Structure 1
Amino acid sequence: MQAVVIYSSAWCPFCIRAKQLLQSKGVAFDEICVDGQPALRAEMAQKAGRTSVPQIWIGTTHVGGCDDLYALERAGKLDALLG
């Protein structure tokens, strides 16, 4: 299984939904909370090209945010990407 990393915020409903989808699939992930951490948020923005949370990586693939993750699931492509 690919390593999954999610940059998130504790109060973000999109972050919560993305984590719920991953948890429902039994996927372990490393969560990096950017709340009050401008250096981590800047790191995320530089890597993702976006400043919004969540930002999700599966292995070396930048999935994007919550809507992108759910779009992969609806298209039947998420499980293959997770490996």
Structure 2
Amino acid sequence: MKNEIDSKFVLSVFEKMRQHGEKQEEKYVLGGLEAFTDFDGYTLFIEDALVKLRFGFHNQYDFEYAKEEHFEQFMKKMSAIDQNY
């Protein structure tokens, strides 16, 4: 399943999570989402219990989720972070 997402939006949400989120070990937690990077920082991850977003080099990304409604809820959380912080 392919979902279109703006790379600037993803990077903005990730940075806001780093700035305003609660750091728990290597993850930042904010608005019901967790954000972290791989060991070299080239791939970032934003996830909740039902959806995982992997965003990597050259703006390639991949979502993992079981139901479309989970994806929609995830995107609402990301939008809330982007708008409120």
Q: Which TM bucket (shorter chain)?
A: 0.3 to 0.5
Structure having the larger proportion of residues in strand: 2
Structure having the larger proportion of residues in helix: 1
Normalised TM-score (structure 1): 0.37
Higher RCO, Cα 8 Å, sep 6+: 1
Normalised TM-score (structure 2): 0.36
